[in-house]
Structure 1
Amino acid sequence: MKNTITLLYSFILCCSVAFGQNSSDKNTIIGKKVSDLLAKMTLEEKIGQMTQITLGTFEDKGKPDLVETKLAEGIQKYHIGSILNTPYPYAPTAKGWNDIMTAISKVSNKTRLKIPVLYGIDAIHGASYTQGATLFPQQIGMAATFNTEIVKKGAEISAYETRASSIPWVFSPDLDLPRNPAWSRIWESFGEDVYLTSRMGEAMISGFEGGDIGSKYHVASCMKHFIGYGSTTTGKDRTPSIIPERVLRQFDLPIYQAAIKAGAKSVMISSGEINGTPVHASKYLITDVLKKELGFPGVVVTDWKDIIYLHTRHKVAESNREAVKIAVLAGIDMSMVPENYSFCIDLLDLVNKGEIPMSRIDDAVSRILKMKMELNLFEGTIADSKLYPKFGSPEFIKEAYNAAAESITLLKNKNAVLPLNKNEKILVTGPTANSMVSLNGGWTYTWQGDKTDELAGDKFTILEALQNKAGAANILYTKGADLMLENDQEIENAVTLAKDASKIILCLGEKNYTETPGDISSLYISASQIKLALALSKLNKPIVLVLNEGRPRIISDFEDKMDAVIQCYLPGNEGGRALADILYGDVNPSGRLPYNYPRYPNSLEKYNRKYTESLATDEQNDDAKYQRSYQPQFEFGTGLSYSTFTYANLKIDKTEINATDEIAISIDVTNTGKLAGKESVLLYLSDLYASITPEVKALKRFEKINLAANETKTVHFTLNQKDLQFVNNDLKWVSEKGTFKITIGNLSQQFLLK
């Protein structure tokens, strides 16, 4: 069997190479097929292709059974082109998905043109809506690996297992650039840096699509949420943003440019508004910028109910009909309606009355049909389980474990309190210590991830992983606190039990959430958890703080009393095992923060802040000296190891360059510790003076290397002219003559652009 599988993969690889050589011919053939099919379609059939409906619409109310008459209404009467979401009440097995897709296919095959339904799913950190699938860290944790190969491999496995579920389209990656750490979707992003997000997004798209989305092992990706979604002024989901276009173009747009270049087949539009215009209503952003300026050839889909919300929430349309008109003319190709057929009815009326031209409909439908053909949906959509022997396999689980191990970030290790000794008695306490929900967060089996303890019961929580590692006799446990409700008895139990332990592992974090249910009014970690931390700190025993959280909740009330701090983010189903191995020293931690961890709720500066954000005038001081105001709890890029790494011999090949030169950089990195370890080498660039106030520093390159004890490696980087540029007030990318500084570790070199 093993040889058969090897031959199968070799065949697939050869086919992929052949496709790459003949992609132009294939595009021509697909283009002709799309034109021919479009010519046969009625207006009603075209509008149906632009309509996406949630699966629950076709279920028997409150039951996980599809009703054939309801499916027939959607697919045969309204000709809907796409379905999304999970059945009630939670994710099925791969076989369950195949049964659902078979039922849908039977109905679509009875239609006049037999156009297959395109199914989309929120495969956010693996095939997270399929039971038994391999679940990786959420995106923020994947960013913390600073390892694009891990991200690509994770996406490949996710694509494989999603296709095994007969689903060809995933609403991922999330390319939002969060500007407020309170935002409930920060953990779905790759963090606060443009360059890091761009590289991770490219890797994820490459893993999902594999160069040929028609393969049985790859899917179409959907970059989201175009654009500015993570920049809400309130920090709450789906609330307004104020973003000058110069800022949007310099920091947000390059991420989507990179994703389009990487081949992303579709894009989901932001639910928010920018400067008073909902993005779903912006012809400038969707058509002029995305489709024309960036040349995006794929499918533009709305987010949940967002055309309807132009009328009911944003109040820019006086009726649902007007909302449909605004959004379709803005450039929307597919409406995630998703619970009725109002979009079909209103759009048909708008076209028949000449308010929306047929050319706009044909453009949208051509994009949708093209993606369906590229996915080979016309050749069948149901997966053959025999072709997916690695689904949920030990091989795939090992990759998820490796991702979790490289993501977990050691932020503090006072007096080398870590790693632990397996023979010492440890108290494990805190509300996230014995919870699979806390390891995974939202978009896990259900929208809010609330069934994970039940559906991932065969996986290890942090407590279970530590008991398995060190033996139950050496691990004491009590919950210690609830996530939100204060419970003095729980705290008293933890304090009492701690007296029998030599060290304390304190597991704190957040409740599971995503989107609007995750909105918060305070960035501080909850009062119940602060109270537990302070009570334990009075025992004068070493405390290791373990954080399971989707965003950086402020811990400054007690961080100074912690001896070690570990940020786990949301590490997925293998996170408990990975953490246990790190705590006991079997794995050397190598994660790095992909965002600034704030110390105060009114000091939320990003690492690439402006110089004026680093200073504040002390009005009480007679000589008006400046005091530093930039004091994050931990800065972007922070990440400790059980080894030590030394940087030396930072070299650049030129000290003066002209407007066309590249600059080559090299640096020697040595592991001066006793353990092998992985080190992310980060290169920052500073433009010392510019006509637009420059950033203090900006990440421009990174590479993760593995070093044995006492080993030295030379790392090479190349910067080009684009790296020196910024967007000026004329909205042009420019570089200006002057001095630039390269910083790697504690070393820096300057060069002059003439």
Structure 2
Amino acid sequence: MTLEEKIGQMIQADISAITPEDLAKYPLGSILAGGNSGPYGDERGDAAKWSKLVHEFRKASAKAGAGIPILFGIDAVHGHSNLPGATLFPHNIGLGAAHDPALIQRIGEVTAIEVAASGIDWTFAPTLAVPQDLRWGRSYEGYAADPALVASYAKAMTVGLQGPLAPGKPIPADRVAATAKHYLADGGTDGGKDQGDALISERELVARHAQGYPPAINAGALTVMASFSSWNGAKNHGNRSLLTDVLKGRMGFEGLVVGDWNGHGQIPGCSVTDCPKTFTAGLDLAMAPNSWKGLFEATVREAKDGTLPMARIDDAVARILRVKAKLGLLGVNPVDRGNPSIVGADAHLAVAREAAAKSLVLLKNNGGVLPLRPGAKVLIAGPGADSMAMQAGGWTITWQGTDTTAADFPKGQTIGRAIVAAVKDAGGSAAISADGNFSEKPDVAVVVYGEQPYAEFQGDMPNLAFREHAGEKALLAKLKAQGVKVVSVFLSGRPLFAGPEINASDAFVAAWLPGSQGEGVADVLVARKDGKPARGFTGKLPFPWPADAVSPVKTPLFAAGYGLTYASKAVVGTVNEDPKVDLVASASEGVYFALGKVPSPWHLSLDPGIAAHAVDLGAQEDAQQFSWSETGAIGIDGPPVDLMRQLDEEFALKLDGRLDAAAGPIAVTMAGATLKISPPVGPLTVRIPLRCFLEAGASFKAVGTPLRIAGDKGLSLTLRGASIEGVGQTIACPAK
């Protein structure tokens, strides 16, 4: 192999930023599809389209350079979750509640079969984090707070995805490479901050956060992914002690170590296009989704001048080729993956339904309101009653999962529709009414609500308080006042303080993020005609449930391992409703306006001639109306924050509200750069990619004034929300 061919093996590009034709000049060794990247730009491409794309890249790689086929990786983190119609399982926190390693292995097998069916040979899973502070936005990717359970699942999922390894033989064509991630202690960062710093001793690092890796490695995990995070100030992507001495030395890992999305660029002294330090530390394959070309050229140059030793290059390439050989990609008759017809098979969906049922944890069941009796009149209400997005969560079709619909999973069922069907089968009547209105009083109302979808740092929280999105407290109170028994089905990626909601409910079910098969929830909640449900409650809390919103949880309301069954006679009394934190004075670094209020640490400033008052837009005083009697600006100011993470991940500034009166273009300034927008009078939803501000000269390293909105005399603007959110890469920039 030439030097360029070797360096190419060490760099991975995203399908949104490379074409098969590029491989003729740049012989890269690996391609990935990130959370917002679909085949040929189609986020909802089917398995056949995925397979076509993978084979085009593989054919091009076989013709380029040394003719070594590419590896193709994807985040199939709860089933083949990028693919419409695939089998979608509960997120890991729900699987942790099941406490069932054998089930985990079967889930791994189904996931591998469906990933391979779309031509792909590598998934970036399982996540082996042991979350300690549930404010972390990736908490639902962790199985449990118990390292022993994580260790048992690590082995089970690795074997499920890859099958047992056999000397001298490739893994089967219906299995894929697993990735133990994120190495190391991503679940132990200070304050639960994503990509943050784990300020812990080596003893705790080993005892709590490293326990899942030896079982995964011993089970044959072909790859390990380095974490964005740091350990005591040292970025894991550049930590030779952890990557080389411990992982490859002490643990005996012989596969490849892959980086996370441009994670090498966070190492001091590095950029996303130039980072020899990450390779000398022990990274074998850099994930450089949109920076691959610059990184390739810089790394070739540094190999030639001796900055990057040839011995390290050869070791990295040997590890990458070892994985490719084990996948059957090398040789005269390479393994060919791709059988789209088996995606979403009935047998696969049955496993997902079983997993959803086993993930449920019953926290309260006063008066035995559950299971729902045969012949009952049932109302299903709440924002999650018929929402595939809420029950599937992030990493579903798209990265953040906010636009997932029931149509994406035609063989799935929302929780509400599944309960309606089960109640009717048992001789009762049922209907869905999101707002809780009814013409005939029901015996029981099942209210489905919880967190909106999110992924990664978009889910970071300032505390553990559940913040309602659609008047859930008022809905529960209304139903109770009408004399209706209330069952809460709480959808969340972590335990949250929900004292008022628990008190307002006769029964309370922690349903986590159960995936596409809502029938699994109905199997447990609804009794059949014989008076018994298809399944009982078996789930136990994988993390403690907080008694208040303070994090980390010191005194839980329900300890890890708690979970009632239908045989339990326990009565849950009135619980604490005081969050013990100031909910108004705490917010994310990326939220500047929420329901008409400016959350701490931000504050609102108004130039002279601009008046503001609270107004009703969708609910009582949920927005502020700003009126310009002369030219000026409103501003959001606060302490400097680093928004570089959001910039790397293609985020946008979102403004939500209403334009009441126009007076020429509106100037929107972020991080020192100004762009102009001219929306029509009426409802307002504007998304401006952060890259547009960057191109206009913004600096996102230390942002103290994240937002200013300027206009001329006569402008009238009602603002309900202003925040940073994840989007795709197709939004055009407004004029400068």
TM-score w.r.t. length of structure 1: 0.70
Separation of aligned partners in 1, 2:403 and 2:231: 35
Q: Does 1:370 align with 2:330?
A: no
Q: Deviations over 1:313-343 (max 9, x none)?
A: xxx116556x612111110000001113122
Q: Does 1:383 align with 2:337?
A: yes
Q: Deviations over 1:427-463 (max 9, x none)?
A: 2111111111112111112212234313124421111
Change in Cα spacing, 1:135 to 1:398, as seen in structure 2 (3 Å) is same
SS in 1 for 2:448: strand
Q: Does 1:578 align with 2:528?
A: no
Q: In the TM superposition, what is the alpha-carbon distance from 1:235 to its structure 2 partner?
A: 2.2
Query: Which residue identity is paired with 2:66?
Result: L
Q: Deviations over 1:576-611 (max 9, x none)?
A: 443354333232121111111111122533xxxxxx
Q: Deviations over 1:295-314 (max 9, x none)?
A: 1111100000111232xxxx
Name the residue aligned to 1:15: none
Separation of aligned partners in 2, 1:183 and 1:517: 9
Aligned residue-pair number: 548
Q: In the TM superposition, what is the alpha-carbon distance from 1:253 to its structure 2 partner?
A: 1.5
Q: In the TM superposition, what is the alpha-carbon distance from 1:409 to its structure 2 partner?
A: 1.5
Separation of aligned partners in 1, 2:119 and 2:454: 27
Separation of aligned partners in 1, 2:526 and 2:364: 13
SS in 2 for 1:442: coil
- Structure 1: which 5+ runs fail to align? 1-40, 59-69, 311-315, 481-493, 606-612, 614-629, 647-754
Change in Cα spacing, 1:531 to 1:645, as seen in structure 2 (3 Å) is closer
Separation of aligned partners in 1, 2:99 and 2:308: 46
Q: Does 1:643 align with 2:591?
A: no
- Aligned residues of 1:98 and 1:382 also touching (Cα < 8 A): no
Change in Cα spacing, 1:635 to 1:90, as seen in structure 2 (3 Å) is same
Separation of aligned partners in 1, 2:16 and 2:272: 22
**Percent of pairs with identical residues:** 34
Name the residue aligned to 2:449: 508
Q: Does 1:600 align with 2:548?
A: yes
Change in Cα spacing, 1:410 to 1:228, as seen in structure 2 (3 Å) is same
Query: Which residue identity is paired with 1:55?
Result: I
Which of the residues 345, 349, 369 maps onto 1:393?
A: 345
Separation of aligned partners in 2, 1:536 and 1:520: 30
Q: Deviations over 1:685-714 (max 9, x none)?
A: xxxxxxxxxxxxxxxxxxxxxxxxxxxxxx
Which of the residues 58, 83, 100 maps onto 1:147?
A: 100
Q: In the TM superposition, what is the alpha-carbon distance from 1:141 to its structure 2 partner?
A: 1.2
Q: Deviations over 1:123-168 (max 9, x none)?
A: 1111222232211111111111111111100100111111111111
Name the residue aligned to 1:251: 208
Q: In the TM superposition, what is the alpha-carbon distance from 1:395 to its structure 2 partner?
A: 1.4
- Aligned residues of 2:465 and 2:498 also touching (Cα < 8 A): yes
Q: Does 1:419 align with 2:371?
A: yes
Separation of aligned partners in 2, 1:172 and 1:106: 26
Q: In the TM superposition, what is the alpha-carbon distance from 1:103 to its structure 2 partner?
A: 1.4
Separation of aligned partners in 1, 2:272 and 2:521: 50
Query: Which residue identity is paired with 1:84?
Result: L
Which of the residues 131, 134, 137 maps onto 2:87?
A: 134
- Aligned residues of 2:354 and 2:520 also touching (Cα < 8 A): no
Change in Cα spacing, 1:191 to 1:460, as seen in structure 2 (3 Å) is same
- Aligned residues of 2:187 and 2:209 also touching (Cα < 8 A): no
Q: Does 1:43 align with 2:3?
A: yes
Which of the residues 219, 222, 231 maps onto 2:176?
A: 219
Q: Does 1:328 align with 2:279?
A: yes
Query: Which residue identity is paired with 1:517?
Result: Q
SS in 1 for 2:512: coil
Query: Which residue identity is paired with 1:92?
Result: G
Separation of aligned partners in 1, 2:439 and 2:193: 38
Name the residue aligned to 1:690: none
Name the residue aligned to 1:303: 260
Aligned pairs for 1:249-288 (under 5 A) are 249-288=206-245
Which of the residues 427, 430, 438 maps onto 1:475?
A: 430
Which of the residues 488, 496, 502 maps onto 1:545?
A: 488
Q: Deviations over 1:622-655 (max 9, x none)?
A: xxxxxxxx2x122111122223699xxxxxxxxx
Q: In the TM superposition, what is the alpha-carbon distance from 1:181 to its structure 2 partner?
A: 1.1
- Choose 180-189 or 533-542, whichever is displaced more: 533-542
Which of the residues 538, 557, 562 maps onto 2:505?
A: 562
- Structure 2: which 5+ runs fail to align? 528-532, 571-736
Q: Deviations over 1:538-571 (max 9, x none)?
A: 4443211101111112101231232111111111
Separation of aligned partners in 2, 1:55 and 1:382: 20
Query: Which residue identity is paired with 2:432?
Result: Y
Name the residue aligned to 1:486: none
SS in 1 for 2:181: strand
Q: Deviations over 1:97-117 (max 9, x none)?
A: 121122112211222421001
Separation of aligned partners in 1, 2:308 and 2:57: 31
- Aligned residues of 1:168 and 1:218 also touching (Cα < 8 A): yes
Query: Which residue identity is paired with 2:260?
Result: D
- Choose 135-144 or 216-225, whichever is displaced more: 135-144
Higher helix share: 1
- Aligned residues of 2:91 and 2:140 also touching (Cα < 8 A): yes
Aligned pairs for 1:648-727 (under 5 A) are none
Which of the residues 308, 313, 325 maps onto 1:361?
A: 313
Change in Cα spacing, 1:603 to 1:108, as seen in structure 2 (3 Å) is closer
TM-score w.r.t. length of structure 2: 0.71
Separation of aligned partners in 2, 1:517 and 1:97: 27
Change in Cα spacing, 1:420 to 1:282, as seen in structure 2 (3 Å) is same
Query: Which residue identity is paired with 1:593?
Result: L
Q: In the TM superposition, what is the alpha-carbon distance from 1:390 to its structure 2 partner?
A: 4.2
Q: Does 1:344 align with 2:268?
A: no
- Aligned residues of 1:438 and 1:511 also touching (Cα < 8 A): yes
Name the residue aligned to 1:110: 63
Separation of aligned partners in 2, 1:94 and 1:569: 28
SS in 2 for 1:557: helix
Name the residue aligned to 2:386: 434
Change in Cα spacing, 1:244 to 1:499, as seen in structure 2 (3 Å) is farther
Separation of aligned partners in 2, 1:304 and 1:532: 41
Q: Does 1:93 align with 2:46?
A: yes
Separation of aligned partners in 2, 1:543 and 1:192: 30
Name the residue aligned to 1:190: 143
- Aligned residues of 1:265 and 1:298 also touching (Cα < 8 A): yes
Q: In the TM superposition, what is the alpha-carbon distance from 1:84 to its structure 2 partner?
A: 0.5
Change in Cα spacing, 1:72 to 1:590, as seen in structure 2 (3 Å) is same
Q: In the TM superposition, what is the alpha-carbon distance from 1:389 to its structure 2 partner?
A: 6.0
SS in 1 for 2:60: helix
SS in 1 for 2:362: strand
Name the residue aligned to 1:72: 21
Q: In the TM superposition, what is the alpha-carbon distance from 1:239 to its structure 2 partner?
A: 2.3
Change in Cα spacing, 1:270 to 1:319, as seen in structure 2 (3 Å) is closer
Separation of aligned partners in 2, 1:225 and 1:433: 34
Query: Which residue identity is paired with 2:476?
Result: A
What value does the CA root-mean-square deviation take over the aligned residues?
2.1
Change in Cα spacing, 1:154 to 1:301, as seen in structure 2 (3 Å) is same
- Choose 529-538 or 189-198, whichever is displaced more: 529-538
- Aligned residues of 2:136 and 2:460 also touching (Cα < 8 A): yes
SS in 1 for 2:476: helix
Q: Does 1:536 align with 2:479?
A: yes
Q: In the TM superposition, what is the alpha-carbon distance from 1:355 to its structure 2 partner?
A: 1.3
SS in 2 for 1:633: strand
Change in Cα spacing, 1:588 to 1:498, as seen in structure 2 (3 Å) is farther
Q: Deviations over 1:506-540 (max 9, x none)?
A: 11111111112222334211243234334434444
Q: In the TM superposition, what is the alpha-carbon distance from 1:251 to its structure 2 partner?
A: 0.9
Name the residue aligned to 1:201: 154
Separation of aligned partners in 1, 2:314 and 2:537: 53
Which of the residues 514, 519, 525 maps onto 2:460?
A: 519
Change in Cα spacing, 1:540 to 1:159, as seen in structure 2 (3 Å) is same
